[in-house]
Amino acid sequence: MGPTWLRLLLISVLALEGAVWSDGCWDEERVALLQLQHFLTDIEYSREGPDCCEWKWVDCNITTRRVIQLSSLWGRLKIKDSNLFNASMFLPFEELKSLDLSGNDLVGCVENEAPLKWLSKLGGLETLDLSITNAKNNLLLHLGGLSSLITLILQQNDLKETIHLRGNDGQLSLINLEEIDLTVNLFNNSIMEELSGFSNLKSLKIGSNRLNGLVDLKELCALGHLETLDLSYNEVNRFVTSKGLCYLNNLEELSLNGNALGGAVAPCLGNLTSLRYLDISNNHFTGNIASTPLANLTTLQFLSLSNNQLQVPMSFRSFANHSNLKVLLADQNNMVADEPTAFQTWWPKFQLEVFSMSNCMIEEHGNLQLPNFLYFQHDLRDVDLSYCDFGGIRFPHWLLENNTRLEQLYMIDTSIVGPLFLPSHPSFNLKVFDISNNKIHHDIPRNFCSLFPHLEGLFMSKNDFKTDIPPCLGGLRRLQMLDLSHNDLFGEIPEELRMSSSLANLILSNNSLSGKIIPTVYHLIILLEELRLDGDKFEGEISYFSPISIKNLQVLDVSDNDISGELPTWLWDTISLKILDFSKNNFEGPITMQLCKLINLEFLDLSSNHLSGTIPSCSNLQRMRHVHLANNRLSGTLSNVIFKSSPLVTLDLSGNSFTGRIPNWISTLPILSVLLLKENQFDGEFPLQLCKLQSLSILDFSHNKLSGHLPSCLSNLTLKPSEKSYVDSGGYQFDFFDDVMVHMGLTIYNLTGLVSVYRGYPFTYHEEDVLFSTKGATYTYKGNILDLLSAIDLSCNQLTGIILPGFGNLSEIRGLNLSHNNLTGPIPSTFSELKQIESLDLSYNNLSGRIPSELTEMTSLEVFSVAHNNLSGPLPDRKNQFGTFDESNYEGNPLLCGPPLNKSCNGGNSPTAPNATSSEEEHGHIDMVDFYISFATSYAIIFLTTILVLYINPYWRRACFYFIEDRSIVCYFFIVDSLRQLPCFRRNI
């Protein structure tokens, strides 16, 4: 006690004259901190106690009480475009060792103060973090004077090409720099030469930049002290010389993942005998790992081989001597069978904490087997064996028996069969248990909850469980996500589960669960963030109660049940709701204006009910992406229904009783991809403004009363499929490397530093499905299939005129249906350019002329019909897809001939025209002259009569002028499209 007090007294006596501290820190530093406090946006940070050394963002030397560290200021400094912020206020901190300004926008500060010249005056600074500050290259000019700097973090900025940190005469000023982090910038290959002079460098991170192609690593030879090298997520496909890399004998961590490296793994990597962390995932490496230098790197603790084309022996015996190995990731590679003697049981020297071999294929049509070494692992924390076909194995309960520390087990789609056998003793550490998409049947064991009392996520969907829901699941106090969908569960939802206070996501879709929807969902919708009960047998009304508050609910899906009554009024107060699906029920009544209160709504599906009335105008739903109101009894016009400028992707109003014209406001939806208005009573002409929808991929106006000509501007649509046909619902993700650490000497390295793997689940998004008729049938498209569909259906209307040649420009289209209209003229030969088309229906029109022989070039065509037209002449050759069509494709055209019709084009049953005699030809010529004279006389009479009527009646005159103007627009597009077919014009357009 005595010496300690004596030392403190001596320090106080020897303090600099005039420099005093009060309230815990030096006065001049306190003044500077108070100045900084004015720019803090966090009220909690700006109202702290009198002792500045106790502030959350300040650390002081416990002896001198000088400020040595300023941190935890992420995004809390309001300095952009501020003339009051004076960066020189950092200068009083003479003993400052660490400065963290990350997450703050320094652009305004840099422009006002000749890029932070004050930085070079902090001579004692050892750690500087300027990540995510919008820093530019000119900022680096003022770092050269920081000769004491050890750690420099510049990640995620706007730094380009290379860096210049050299002092006078080309000598480096940052002579003590040991760690530099440049990840997520725009540096190119030239940066390697600039970094070569930092001889003391121990950690170099250049991940997620623009290094590409051939990269020369010879400059690394000078970095003899380097321990960590991160070149991940660039576009490197080859190293000019591996000498600079393979002779870094002190290297402990190497990340090459996310590049385009291919071929065999460099043999010289075997020289890196100190390597503990190696990630070569997400490349194109090939070869058998048993013959690579990886088998010799026995110091490895972390090894990721995932997402390559490597051959991995199923026994994993290549790693028998890796006694330090803790993490082994071998996902998405090619598993190969070992020699018969090699696959015998062997005892590994390592004890893994993480093992993953998901998405693996067995070569040579063999059978995948669970690696035998797993029987001898006793310290596993996370295991992923998903999407591997193990040929009908029983659930490996011994994994849980042997590994009492196991936290996460993923065996999704692994062909597990039979009943679910569980371990004999509880697994208190298991958090996530996922056995979805297997063939497990019978009951859920009644002792399940007692064996896994601390589960946070339980996923057993897409199996064959035939049982009721165990009530004990409601007693799992940590359970946040429960997915038992796509089974054969029956009975009601247990009250214990309905009252759970921990659940956030409950998915019980597509079972045989039943009961009254109320009170089933009463407590669930109050507590949950996500509730899915679609595809069950719930019944009754949902509208007669009013919960006090629904603050958390984001997803509510009770579709495909037998729920009735009006839409519940309490629903409109659920402001947090993002996804609402009440489709395929028996709801009735109107959709009220209260819908507009759901300002966060992104997905709305009320289709296939008995709703009536008009659609409310909700211009404030600025997040709405998908609207499905099909197959109801909705009516009225759409003139007042406004989603103007909203991010609407899908609008489905099919199967209702809407009338009037198709409104022009639809053309203001910039990313509209799916527009379905079929089976209504829309009339008028096709609105030309809809041709502005350049994101459109599916258009269905069939079964309406549209008239007029086919607009030529339709040929300008790109019809590129939508990039996203689902809505994220927030959901929950489990960090696969949660709390997994590897001890390296005296330092603990968190493996999430360079690798982040998260487990998302199908219910973290809501897929939409769309009904669309093509190929002679109606299909439901959803998910990835919907993303690939591009089609136009204008069938069953009153369209007239010809099919313009410009329709051949719809190169992405897969389905085109113009049947049951009054179209005339020939079939355009330009249809041969539709290389992707699978269905083309032109039946029930008045088309004439021959079927172009060029159509045989449509090699993707599966369904083709020109039935019931006025076509004539021989059919196209029976080659490619046309060899598969029969008489039904051409019926109702009596003048067609040739196979597969039973009419020959050269006689026989085929009708032929007799040869005309000269007298008949002369008589025919006279008849034609009389016809033209009669036609000209009739035309003159009609013309004069029309002029007289228009002169007398001003109303008809205005209507005529409107008609002429509209036809002029159509003619303009027709002429432009026709000119584009000519080479001389095509070059100039």
Omega prior to 519 cis, within 30 of 0: yes
732-742 tens-digit pLDDT: 444 444 433 33
- Please give the biggest Cα pair distance in the chain: 141
Mean local confidence (pLDDT), 498-526: 92
Task: Identify the H or E element spanning 30.
Answer: helix 27-37
* DSSP codes joined into one string, 302-369: EEE--SSEEEEETT-GGGTT-TT--EEE--SSEEEPPPTTTTS----S---SEEE--S-EEGGG----
Considering the domain delimited by 181-336, tell me its CATH architecture.
Answer: Alpha-Beta Horseshoe (3.80)
* Domain map (residue ranges) of the chain: 181-336, 352-441, 475-588, 589-730+762-897
User: For the chain, how far is it from start to end, CA to CA, in angstroms?
Assistant: 92
**Do residues 511 and 484 make contact, with C-beta atoms less than 8 angstroms apart?**
yes
228-230 and 457-459 as β-strands: parallel, antiparallel, unpaired?
A: unpaired
Lowest mean pLDDT segment, chosen from 109-123, 294-308, 825-839 = 109-123
Q: Could you give the C-alpha distances from 165 to 130, 139, 187, 223, 525, in angstroms and in order?
A: 15, 10, 14, 16, 58
Number of helices followed by number of strands (H, E) in the chain: 15, 68
Task: Give mean pLDDT, residues 752-763.
Answer: 40
| Residue 594, phi then psi, degrees to nearest 5 | -65, -20
Q: 33 — phi, psi (to 5°)?
A: -65, -35
Instruction: Give me the torsion for CA of 350, 356, 362, 367, rounded to 10°.
Output: 80
Q: What is the pLDDT of residue 414?
A: 94
- CA–CA separation, 763 vs 529, rounded Å? 12
CA-to-CA distance for 607 and 347, rounded, in angstroms?
Answer: 60
Paired sense of beta strands 354-356 and 361-362, if any: unpaired
Pseudo-torsion of CA 42, 45, 48, 53, nearest 10°? -160
Query: What tokens appear for 448 in the block?
Result: 């399940």
**181 with 202: CB under 8 angstroms?**
no
Question: What pLDDT digit, counting tens, does each position of 6-53 carry?
Answer: 334 334 433 433 444 455 788 888 888 888 877 777 656 666 677 888
Cα–Cα distances in Å, from 94 out to 65, 89, 115, 155, 344?
12, 11, 21, 26, 66
Per-residue model confidence (pLDDT) at position 77: 72
Residue 243 has pLDDT above 80, yes or no: no
Q: Is the peptide bond preceding residue 900 cis, with omega within 30 degrees of 0? A: yes
Closest by CA position to 653, among listed 663, 948, 645:
663
Q: State pLDDT tens for residues 623-667.
A: 898 999 999 999 999 988 776 667 899 999 999 999 999 998 888
The answer regarding whether domain 475-588 maps to CATH 1.20.58.100 reads no
Mean pLDDT of 408-420: 94
The C-alpha atoms of residue 148 and residue 137 are separated, in whole angstroms, by: 21
Q: What is the mean pLDDT of the chain?
A: 81
- pLDDT the model gives residue 180: 93
Q: What is the pLDDT of residues 665-686, one digit of tens each?
A: 888 888 899 999 999 999 999 9
Exposure string (b/e) for 388-400, b if CB count within 10 Å is 16 or more?
Answer: bebeebebbeebb
Q: What is residue 644's predicted lDDT score, i.e. its pLDDT?
A: 65
What is the pLDDT confidence band of residue 162, given thresholds at 50, 70 and 90?
confident
Record the tokens describing residue 650, joined without a space: 């899908």
Q: Cα–Cα distance between 980 and 374 in angstroms, integer?
A: 67
The lowest-confidence range among 79-88, 488-497, 704-713, 814-823 is 79-88
Tokens of 365: 């049509």
pLDDT at 944 over 80: no
pLDDT exceeds cutoff 90 at 195: no
The Cα 730–Cα 724 span in angstroms is: 16
Give which of 650, 596, 590, 651 is closest to 622, Cα–Cα: 596
Percent of all residues in the chain with a pLDDT value above 90, rounded to a whole number: 49
Distances (CA, A) of 894 to 855, 873, 909: 20, 10, 11
Residue 220 identity (one-letter amino acid): L
973 — pLDDT class (breaks 50, 70, 90): very low
Q: What letter represents residue 741's amino acid?
A: M
Out of 100-114, 243-257, 465-479, 809-823, pick the least confident.
Answer: 100-114
The residues near 919 (Cβ < 8 Å, ≥ 6 apart) are none
User: Quick one: tokens of 114?
Assistant: 């000749």
Average pLDDT over residues 517-524: 87
Lowest model confidence (mean pLDDT) among 137-141, 421-425, 437-441, 576-580: 137-141
Distance CA 231, CA 254 (A): 8
Q: What sign results for the dihedral spanned by CA atoms 582, 583, 589, 591?
A: positive
Q: Which CATH code is given to the segment(s) 589-730+762-897?
A: 3.80.10.10
Residues in the chain: 989
Q: Which of 929-935's residues contact partners 24+ apart within 8 Å by CB, and which partners?
A: none
Q: Give residue 253's identity as a one-letter amino acid code.
A: E
Name 659's bridge partners. 681
Q: Whole-angstrom Cα distance, residue 507 to residue 763?
A: 8
Judge whether 258 and 232 are in contact, CB under 8 Å. yes
Burial class (CB in 10 A: 0-12, 13-18, 19+), 988: exposed
Do the domains 475-588 and 181-336 match in fold?
yes
- CA angle, 709 then 697 then 604, to 5°: 110
Distance CA 306, CA 288 (A): 14
- Amino acid, single-letter form, for residue 936: A
Rounded CA-CA distance 885/904 in Å is 17
Backbone angles phi, psi at 932, to 5 degrees: -65, -35
Contact 573, 600 (CB under 8 A): no
Using a 10 angstrom Cβ sphere, with 0-12 exposed, 13-18 middle and 19 or more buried, the burial of residue 557 is buried
pLDDT at 924 (0 to 100): 38
Question: What does the angle CA 375 – CA 378 – CA 384 come to, to the nearest 5 degrees?
Answer: 70
pLDDT band at 334 (very low <50, low <70, confident <90, very high): very high
Phi/psi at 742 (5° precision): -125, 125
**Tens digit of each residue's pLDDT (9 = 90 or more) over 375-402:** 999 999 999 999 999 888 999 999 999 9
Q: Does residue 939 sit in helix, strand or coil?
A: helix
**Each residue of 447-457: b (16+ CB within 10 Å) or e?**
ebbebbbebbb
β-pairing, 439-442 with 464-465? parallel
pLDDT value of position 907: 64
pLDDT class for 765, splitting at 50, 70, 90?
Answer: low
pLDDT in tens, 346-363: 789 999 999 999 998 887
What gap in Å lies between CA 181 and CA 229, rounded to an integer?
A: 10
- How far are the Cα atoms of 98, 147, 187, 745 from residue 69, in angstroms, in the given order? 5, 18, 30, 26
787: confidence class by pLDDT, cuts 50, 70, 90: low
Statement: the pTM of the whole predicted model exceeds 0.95: no
Query: Which tokens is 109 given?
Result: 């500060």
Does residue 691 contact residue 711 with C-beta atoms inside 8 Å? yes
